[in-house]
């Protein structure tokens, strides 16, 4: 049993007489927190509290609960599963058609980040500090002992990647609470000690004219016409990458320039819509060979599930910045309509853009309400004219 000062900056514990963190050097002030850790016969419970008095009371309460629990051990109580056991069952469930379309991504994340740390641990043995240590290591690009922990590009992991790992681990705990395991213990996420990384979801990158010309030029000469058409169609329609994977030839109406799409919404499941497409967009599809039931097939004519490799190669040849994402094609589509759309070229109405992007919530579309600096400057120049009242003249012309 122990009570130690808890560093909220690097998630390490220090002695009660410590003035600063032995790991990161942060100075402990009056608002310091304390970590309570109680271990009895291999079972460990940890808590982080606001002051030493509460820490001592918490230590005594946890110890009492654990001692009383000893009398109920091995009395037909189901053993707590490990993360690895939960994962195996979860993966079988996720692979069932209709359950989890992104199970391949979950598998990659689990095997890369969660499995090395947690697979052999019982669910009730993983503390918030363990999860925060994963966050810190991925952010700093190295583990506590100094071992490099970097992405394939040799960089520390982004906030989005870190969040994916925490969401997956949280999902495994929720799955374990279901009928397969009926886990009733606590999770590292219960007391708000694990914070999800903040993501800048307001980023709406769009191409400059030079970048757009370079991309279009690269697509015109790209040897794999299906890969080039995949990007060009997304560029001309703003359709999400995942929506193009299941697109079939039977979904296309070339006479009316209509396409039927199956769209996945984060909270409301899937939706099938039929929408108008520009003639230029349909011409991109007409030029493709029909080698499969899918318009953009993957290996052996099956439905494609990933486009990361082709996008990185084409982006590199086109000279686009490393941080340009495939999803930025959709942002560029929206930004072009907001800035240049409409009959007079003065920008499309945001409600129209909402329909073009098939956003269910108008608040999602509002992030495209930003204008290019030039448009704002032009509006500022016209402000005087717009705000000057137009009064009728009292002068009577002699010829009237």
User: Can you list the residues of the chain whose pLDDT is less than 50?
Assistant: 71, 73-77, 371-373
Last residue of a domain, one of 72, 97, 127: 72
Residues 298 and 366 in one domain: yes
Q: With beta carbons less than 8 A apart as the criterion, state whether 250 and 274 touch.
A: no
Provide the token pair at 283.
């011409």
What pLDDT, on a 0 to 100 scale, did the predictor assign at position 229?
94
| One domain, residues 268 and 122 | no
**Does any domain span residue 162?**
yes
Alpha helices in 342-372, H assignment, sequence order: 350-357, 362-365
Q: Could you tell me the residue range of the domain that residue 245 belongs to?
A: 209-379
The answer to whether residues 352 and 258 belong to one domain is: yes
In this structure, which long-range contacts are made by residues 36-39, counting pairs with CB atoms below 8 Å and at least 24 apart in sequence? Answer: 36/2, 36/3, 36/62, 37/1, 37/2, 37/3, 37/4, 37/13, 38/1, 38/62, 38/63, 38/66, 39/1
> Which token pair is 273?
């819509």
How far is C-alpha 147 from the geometric centre of its chain's CA atoms? Answer: 27
Q: Determine, yes or no, domain membership for 202.
A: no
Q: Are residues 132 and 234 in the same domain?
A: no
In residues, how long is the chain? 400
**100 and 125 fall within a common domain:** yes
pLDDT tens per residue across span 179-206: 999 999 999 998 888 998 876 555 556 7
The total number of structural domains that make up the chain: 3
Q: At 6, give phi and psi (nearest 5°).
A: -105, 125
* Same domain (yes/no): 227, 372: yes
Q: What is the pLDDT of residue 77?
A: 47
Same domain? 115 vs 58: no
Question: b/e per residue, 234-272, with b = 16+ CB within 10 A?
Answer: bbbbbbbbebbbbbeeebbeeeebebebebeeeeeeeee
Residues 64 and 170 in one domain: no
Tell me, yes or no, whether 294 and 366 share the same domain: yes
Residue 110 confidence (pLDDT): 96
Whether residue 83 contacts residue 134, with contact meaning beta carbons closer than 8 Å, is answered with: no
Determine, yes or no, domain membership for 197: no
62 and 140, same domain (yes or no): no
Residues 277 and 369 in one domain: yes
194 in any annotated domain: no
- Report pLDDT for 359: 59
Does some domain include residue 398? no
Residues 18 and 25: beta-carbon distance below 8 Å = no
Do 55 and 94 lie in one domain? The reply is no
Whichever domain contains 317, its CATH number is 1.10.443.10
């Amino acid at each position: 049993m122990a009570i130690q000062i808890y560093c909220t900056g690097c998630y390490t514990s220090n002695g009660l007489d410590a003035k600063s963190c032995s790991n990161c050097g942060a100075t402990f002030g009056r608002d310091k927190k304390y970590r309570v850790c109680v271990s009895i016969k291999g079972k460990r419970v940890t808590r982080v509290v606001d002051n030493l008095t509460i820490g001592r009371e918490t230590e005594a309460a946890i110890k009492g609960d654990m001692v009383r629990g000893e009398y109920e051990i091995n009395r037909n109580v189901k053993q707590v599963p490990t993360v690895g056991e939960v994962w195996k069952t979860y993966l079988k469930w996720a692979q069932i058609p209709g359950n989890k379309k992104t199970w391949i991504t979950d598998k990659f994340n689990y095997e890369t980040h969660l499995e090395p740390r947690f697979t052999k641990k019982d669910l009730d043995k993983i503390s918030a500090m363990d999860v925060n240590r994963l966050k810190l290591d991925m952010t700093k690009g190295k583990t506590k002992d100094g071992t490099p922990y970097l992405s394939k590009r040799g960089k520390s992991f982004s906030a989005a990647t870190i969040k994916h790992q925490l969401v997956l681990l949280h999902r495994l705990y929720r799955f374990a609470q279901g009928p397969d395991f009926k886990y009733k213990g606590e999770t590292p996420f219960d007391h708000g000690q694990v914070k999800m990384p903040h993501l800048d979801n307001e980023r709406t990158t769009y191409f400059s004219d030079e970048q757009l010309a370079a991309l279009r030029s690269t697509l015109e000469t790209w040897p794999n016409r299906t890969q080039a058409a995949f990007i060009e169609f997304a560029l001309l329609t703003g359709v999400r990458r995942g929506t193009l994977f299941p697109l079939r030839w039977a979904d296309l109406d070339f006479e009316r320039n209509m396409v039927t799409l199956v769209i996945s919404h984060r909270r409301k499941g899937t939706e099938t819509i039929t929408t108008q497409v520009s003639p230029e967009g349909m011409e991109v599809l007409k030029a493709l060979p029909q080698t499969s039931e899918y318009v953009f097939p993957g290996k052996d004519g099956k439905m494609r599930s990933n486009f990361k490799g082709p996008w990185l190669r084409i982006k590199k040849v086109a000279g686009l910045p490393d941080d340009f994402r495939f999803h930025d094609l959709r942002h560029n589509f929206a930004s072009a309509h907001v800035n240049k759309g409409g009959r007079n070229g003065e920008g499309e109405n945001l409600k129209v853009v909402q329909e073009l992007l098939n956003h269910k919530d108008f608040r999602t579309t509002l992030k495209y309400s930003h204008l290019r600096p030039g448009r704002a400057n032009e509006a500022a120049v016209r402000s005087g004219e717009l705000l000057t009242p137009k009064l009728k003249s009292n002068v009577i012309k002699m010829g009237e």
